[in-house]
Amino acid sequence: LPDLLDIIGQGRAIAQLQQAIASSRMPHAFLFTGPDGVGRQSTATALAKILLCCQPTITNRSQLRQAGRLTELAEDFPVKQACGVCPDCKMMDTAGHPDFNLVHKELARYHEDASVRGRVMQELGIDVIDSFLITPAGRSPARQRGKVFVVREADLMSDAAQNSLLKTLEEPPPGVVIILLAEQAQQMLATTVSRCRRVEFGPLPVAFVKDRLVSSGQAAGEADFWAAFTAGSLGRALQLSQQGMYEIKRDMVLRLAGMGGDSAELGEPLAKAMDKLADSALRSAKQTSGVEMSKNLASRQAAGAMIELIASAYLDALHLRTGLAGPIGQPAVVNVDQMQEIQTLSQKFTNRQLAEIIEQLSQYEQLLWRNVNPKIVWDNLVITCSTAAELRI
């Protein structure tokens, strides 16, 4: 379990948290927003460890063992850390502290009511929030320090769940701290957001993600690609690369660059790849959360990821033609490991054609989430890519 100060690339957020826990009126509800896989949950867990530690230490910022960290704070700022050796710290490290609670939508599977257990887990419903947050928050802590609740995908909370949680967010029982994790706050009720101390997490530096991927055993070319493709989300880069997606992507970009007008040339291998991805997503969901994911959801997610990969090649080609820079802090070309293919793609189309293909692909991605059959989306996508190839100049 990483300590708060071991979390890299989120200095501003960590400094904000240190300021919050040092203040005499520490907030009891936090909202961590930012992309997936940049360290929100690790940070929440590390914060919980400090809050539950029975003998936390205080060190002036300039004397920290992790020299040079948190320069956002004054040199003599009293930085709080978990001791790492007390029984509470030991329990946190072994993922078994009785006063630490992770709340997520898959908990519906463990609800005492069978009808809740059977429900499709698209949202984080009121039953889960009541049974796994509001009710246990009202009980006394098992140890002396208090209780911490971390709510994953809090932006998927239904309005009813959020309304039911308002009172607890406003005035939690003594010693209770609630940390909501969300990608964006816009989807949530303003009343929920306004009751929380907001802490924003940005994407990680691409070079940092690449280094981590290389040290986890990836070849440099593959690591370059995933770090750029996920725009600094280490968690997502690790997840996608473990699903065997890299070989699929290489093959796909190769086909796109060399493709003629025959849609079967693209269609069949891609349909196969999508099935493989969906299966692998099903397996990994089972492994990481012990929960069955629906085949339908897995197929949609796999198709979404594939469309995103295909779009990245066309976007790269457009960037190459126009000399446009990438988003702030991100490289302009994502498929740096296949520059020759991207070069070929960029010579095949006009700027306008590329922009149209990209727009079309993004519409297909949205259709997937409006319950359109992935098969239909897929057929259309193949037509878009192959028709565009016929239009080549």
Give the Å distances, CA to CA, from 259 to 140, 317, 330, 382: 65, 15, 29, 11
From the number of C-beta atoms within 10 Å of its C-beta (0-12, 13-18, 19+), residue 288 rates as: exposed
d(CA 224, CA 212): 11
| 57 or 347: CB nearest Zn ion | 57
- We find the least distance from the C-beta atom of residue 67 to Zn ion, in angstroms, to be 22
Closest by CA position to 17, among listed 60, 70, 53:
70
Residues at the contact surface with Zn ion, assessed by CB under 5 A: 53, 82-83, 86, 89
Scanning the structure block, which residue is given the tokens 């020299």?
A: 67
Q: Residue 53 CB: number of other CB atoms within 10 A? A: 21
Contact at 8 Å (CB) between 229 and 312? yes
- We find the least distance from the C-beta atom of residue 341 to Zn ion, in angstroms, to be 53
d(CA 348, CA 314): 11
Q: Which residues contact 237 (CB under 8 A, 6 or more apart)?
A: 37, 209, 213, 226, 227, 229, 230
- We find the least distance from the C-beta atom of residue 27 to Zn ion, in angstroms, to be 22
| 86 or 160: CB nearest Zn ion | 86
- We find the least distance from the C-beta atom of residue 158 to Zn ion, in angstroms, to be 37
| 80 or 197: CB nearest Zn ion | 80
- We find the least distance from the C-beta atom of residue 79 to Zn ion, in angstroms, to be 15
| 93 or 113: CB nearest Zn ion | 93
- We find the least distance from the C-beta atom of residue 363 to Zn ion, in angstroms, to be 52
Taking every pair of C-alpha atoms in the chain, what is the biggest distance, in angstroms? Answer: 72
| 43 or 241: CB nearest Zn ion | 43
- We find the least distance from the C-beta atom of residue 125 to Zn ion, in angstroms, to be 35
φ/ψ of 128, rounded to 5, equals -70, -45
Number of H helices, E strands in the chain: 17, 7
d(CA 334, CA 336): 6
- We find the least distance from the C-beta atom of residue 157 to Zn ion, in angstroms, to be 31
Which residue type occupies 68? G
| 78 or 261: CB nearest Zn ion | 78
d(CA 58, CA 92): 19
Contact at 8 Å (CB) between 392 and 348? yes
**Dihedral of alpha carbons 64, 70, 74, 79, sign:** negative
| 54 or 74: CB nearest Zn ion | 54
- We find the least distance from the C-beta atom of residue 19 to Zn ion, in angstroms, to be 21
| 89 or 257: CB nearest Zn ion | 89
| 80 or 392: CB nearest Zn ion | 80
Token pair recorded at residue 118: 């059977």
